[in-house]
């Protein structure tokens, strides 16, 4: 079984500034993780991805990206060009080859 998932991350609306200014990043995400308060591994979901991003590629100002274990309100998330609200938000289980887009709306218009 493949231990890692190939995931493409895209950033927009200025949020790329927190991720070394790279608008696209291809990452290897562990296929499973151990949720807190359990010892059974679970398939990696977006909530885990966000924590992984914080630990591995988020360069600064984590409060601008994360709030209460999820993305800060005002940051939109798309999974394969679909609103994550239609895919279960943080509970969506990530597949190999998925593209996840994070767009910040928190700037002037």
Partner 1 sequence: MPSKACALCQTSRAILKRPKTGQQICKECFFHVFETEVHNTIVDAKLFKPGDRVAIGASGGKDSTVLAHVMKTLNDRYNYGLELFLLSIDEGITGYRDDSLETVKRNQQQYNLPLKILSYEELYGWTMDAIVEKIGRKNNCTFCGVFRRQALDRGAASLNVDHIVTGHNADDIAETVLMNIMRGDIARLGRCTLICTEGEDTIRRSKPFKYAYEKEIVMYAYFKKLDYFSTECIYSPDAYRGHARVFLKDLEAARPSAIIDIIHSGEAFELLDEVKKVAKAQQVCLRCGYISSNDLCKACVLLEGLEKGTSALAIVSCASLAQNLIQTTESAV
- Give the interface with partner 1 as residue ranges (CB under 8 A): 12-14, 17, 72-74, 76, 78, 81-83, 85-88, 92, 101, 103-109
Q: Toward partner 1, which CB reaches closer, 56 or 105?
A: 105
45-55 per-residue burial string, b: 16 or more CB within 10 A, e: under 16: bbbbbbebbee
Please, are residues 53 and 76 in contact by the beta-carbon 8 Å criterion?
A: no
Q: Toward partner 1, which CB reaches closer, 56 or 82?
A: 82
Please, are residues 100 and 71 in contact by the beta-carbon 8 Å criterion?
A: no
Shortest Å, Cβ 2 to partner 1: 22
**Backbone phi, psi, residue 83, to 5°:** -50, 125
Shortest Å, Cβ 97 to partner 1: 16
Q: Toward partner 1, which CB reaches closer, 17 or 25?
A: 17
Positive/negative CA dihedral, 56, 61, 66, 72: negative
Shortest Å, Cβ 67 to partner 1: 9
């Amino acid at each position: 079984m493949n231990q890692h998932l190939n995931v493409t991350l895209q950033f927009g609306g200025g949020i790329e500034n927190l991720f070394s200014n790279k608008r696209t990043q291809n990452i290897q995400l562990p296929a499973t993780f151990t949720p807190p308060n359990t010892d059974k591994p679970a398939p990696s979901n977006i909530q885990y991805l966000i924590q992984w991003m914080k630990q591995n590629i988020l360069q600064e100002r984590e409060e601008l990206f994360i709030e209460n274990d999820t993305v800060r309100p005002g940051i939109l998330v798309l999974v394969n060009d679909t609103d994550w609200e239609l895919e279960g938000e943080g509970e969506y289980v990530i597949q190999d080859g998925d593209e996840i887009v994070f767009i910040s709306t928190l700037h002037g218009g």
